[in-house]
A and B are shown apart, each in its own frame.
Chain A
């Protein structure tokens, strides 16, 4: 099974000892687990310096021979920062990750200029509920951001970080309601979670998230390999949907 991880990271990690810090570390981990390509954001941009983080992730992607797909992060509290997105797109960024649960000042209204810039530049917007499935991280409520899906219909939004229960149900509801909302699986740990998504959401807008190198690659891949779904659905989630998403992105 060919695998793309849409939920990867690159950079140092301050929460627990982690061996994989550099682009070559992440690519080696991908090789060891059969992951062909990974969308990566900068760990530095999670809580520290987003500009340096973007430099990190763009450099990492440039050194990876196409294995790493860079997403940048923008401090959205100043509307003018959104103008930088076109510069980042020009040097290879394929999307932008927004972390309302980590960047405490973020309001939905502050993301409007960013979404407008993403729409103008053909970039994917990932709305991160939680960066990884770790109980020490706060979880963002997606509800207040929903109007953005309608206001920017050409933007493809990826909901990142939903787990079981109401988070899954809400993700499915948004996927059904908005044709530009995609769901990823890196934090989806409930029994039969992927089968539930396939049964109730649009299979063509479900993306495999593994969360390398912060999460065990084997865990993210096993849940798709073992899911009680058709072979065609498995292939779509494993990589075909991601290929289509990024082929559509400029």
Chain B
């Protein structure tokens, strides 16, 4: 089973994409992806509750294909985030949390830790668009959380420093690395697995921003075993989701 752990739904004027749930599922079908773990763009950058509701309704239409992240803007960490997490779990059965760091609004601040703790209490994975340094702080402070570093450092925010991401994961056994990125550095996945094991690498595409076939090929074309590919493509996420609170 292939589970894409990094999917956006909605309209982004900033990134020039627009995709509803049906668009995403068509892309998934074209690429052999079974389930999509989705964050709503409106919830992340505009209106938390409106966006999470939109995603929740899409999940109700496609309960076998869509998994939902409760998206929490940083400004909401101490302004209704915990209630929103509980609401989306109970109303829509959302299974994860998405948080996002910006250069001017970094997510590591005192108010992020209760969010991580609430995620841990629900056994919800957290997809954090962040840096290696930020993930070190969060993973060491709340090691019981399933913290996934979106893009594994391959972002402008993290200066493309995926080696730093690997080092952060080596020092923090609870930290997982998610694969989606424009960067396709040859040997990076093999090196990552040699340092932290395939059990802590999670497949994602960042659709509909990035070309899905490229993100698939990064894993399928890597010089690693089929068992390792299976873990990355979905086995690891399935194992996390099987952990009940």
Binding site for B on A (CB under 8 A): 16-20, 132-137, 163-165, 187-193, 211-223, 225-226
Inter-chain contacts of A135 with B (CB < 8 A): 154-156, 158-160, 182-183
Which of B138-146, B170-178, B210-218 lies at the binding interface? B210-218
Given known contacts A213-B186, A215-B185, A219-B218, A191 and B160 CB-to-CB distance under 8 angstroms: no
- B216: chain A residues at CB < 8 Å are 222
Q: List 17 A-B contacts (CB under 8 A).
A: A16-B163, A16-B188, A16-B191, A18-B186, A133-B184, A134-B185, A135-B156, A136-B160, A165-B16, A188-B211, A191-B212, A192-B211, A214-B186, A216-B217, A216-B221, A217-B186, A218-B221
4 closest Cβ contacts across the A-B interface?
A218-B221, A135-B160, A136-B160, A226-B213
Q: Contact between A191 and B210 (Cβ–Cβ < 8 Å)?
A: yes
Nearest A residue to B214, CB-CB: A219
Q: Per-residue CB proximity of B23-63 to A under 8 Å, as 1/0?
A: 00001000100000000000000000000000000000000
**Do residues A219 and B184 form an inter-chain contact, with CB atoms below 8 A?**
yes
Choice from B158, B187, B209, B217 contacting A219 with Cβ under 8 Å:
B217
A102 shortest CB reach to chain B, Å = 15
Given contacts A216-B221, A223-B213, contact A132 B187 (CB under 8 A): no
Tell me, in angstroms, the Cα distance from A225 to B217 when the chains sit together: 11
The answer to whether B186 and A215 have CB atoms under 8 Å apart is yes
Proximity bits, B199-230, A CB within 8 Å = 1, else 0: 00000000111111110111011100000000
Nearest-neighbour CB distance to chain A for B11, whole angstroms, equals 14
Cα separation A241 to B185 with both chains bound (whole Å)? 26
Q: Which of B15, B160, B221 touches A165 (beta carbons < 8 Å)?
A: B15
| B84, CB-defined interface residue at 8 Å | no
* Cα–Cα distance between A50 and B158 once the two chains are bound (Å): 30
* B102 within 8 Å of A (CB atoms): no
Is B86 close to A, CB under 8 A?
no
Residue of B156, B161, B183, B213 near A222 (CB, 8 A) is B213
Contact in complex: B185, A223 (CB < 8 Å): no
Secondary structure dominating the interface of A? loop
Q: A134-B183, A165-B16, A215-B185 are in contact. List 5 more A-B contacts (CB 8 A).
A: A16-B163, A190-B211, A216-B186, A218-B217, A221-B217
The reply to whether A187 and B182 contact each other, CB–CB distance below 8 Å, is yes
| A-side contacts of B211, CB under 8 Å | 188-193, 223, 226
List chain B residues, Cβ under 8 A from A17. Answer: 187, 191
Query: A55–B222 Cα gap in the complex (Å)?
Result: 31
Instruction: Please indicate the chain B residues that have their CB under 8 angstroms from the CB of A218 in the complex.
Output: 217-218, 220-222
- Return chain B residues, CB-CB under 8 Å to A165: 15-16
Complex CA–CA separation, A161 to B156 (angstroms) = 16
Contacts of B218 in A (CB 8 A): 216, 218-219
Please give the distance in Å from A209's CB to the nearest CB on chain B: 12
Task: Report the bound CA distance from A150 to B16 in whole Å.
Answer: 31
Q: B185, A16: Cβ atoms under 8 Å?
A: yes
Q: Shortest beta-carbon distance, A11 to chain B, in Å?
A: 14
Chain B residues within an 8 Å CB radius of A16 = 162-163, 185, 187-188, 191
Distance between A55 CB and nearest chain B CB, rounded to angstroms: 24
How far is it, in angstroms, between the C-alpha of A218 and the C-alpha of B222 when the chains are bound? 8
* Cβ-defined contact, A134 with B160, below 8 A: yes
Verify A191–B207 contact, CB threshold 8 A.
Answer: yes
A165 CA / B154 CA spacing, docked (Å): 18
A163/B182 in contact, CB under 8 A = yes
Tell me, in angstroms, the Cα distance from A1 to B191 when the chains sit together.
Answer: 30
Q: Which residues of A contact B220 (CB under 8 A)?
A: 218
Residues of the B chain whose Cβ atoms lie less than 8 Å from the Cβ of A214 = 185-186
Is A222 a contact of B154 with CB atoms below 8 Å? no
- Inter-chain contacts of B154 with A (CB < 8 A): 134-135
